[in-house]
Amino acid sequence: MPTTPEGDSRHPEAAVDHETRLFLLGEDSSVQPLAHDRYVALARNETVLPEFAGRRFILVDWYLRIVGGQAQDVVNETCAWLVFDAQGRLDLHAALAIHEKAAPREAQWAQVRALVFGSVA
């Protein structure tokens, strides 16, 4: 059975959607979800996150294929640096100045996968 915009061959009755999920990966190996709306407000300089003042993170951005309300596949993945200034605003210039690759550790990848897809045996 071919895949259609309304569903897929594994779940013909289920609607297919897509959604973005964002995660902040700390240098201390922490992993925490970041709501898309909150990220947009940060990028537009409409909000600050004082709890992140003076810190840097790897931002993992997963664009997911959703079937029947459940994440099925990662369609696209990007990783980039996010740097917060002393007040908790995004500092895009500082992020661009980092020449080190934004490369999550395997344990962080495992945490992200568990958050998106649930525990995997």
What pLDDT does residue 76 have? 96
Q: Locate tokens 């980092």: which residue?
A: 98
What is the DSSP-derived secondary structure letter of residue 17?
A: E
What integer pLDDT is reported at residue 120 of this predicted model? 59
Buried-exposed string 76-88: b where 16+ CB fall within 10 A, e elsewhere: eeeeebbbbeeeb
How do the pLDDT tens digits run along the chain, 121 residues long? 344 444 455 555 668 899 999 999 999 999 999 999 999 999 999 999 999 999 999 999 999 999 999 999 999 999 999 999 999 999 999 999 999 999 999 999 999 999 999 975 4
Q: Please report the pLDDT score of residue 44 as a whole number.
A: 95
Prediction pTM value:
0.83
User: Can you list the positions of beta strands (E) in the chain?
Assistant: 16-26, 31-34, 56-67, 70-83
Q: Are strands 56-67 and 16-26 parallel, antiparallel or unpaired?
A: antiparallel
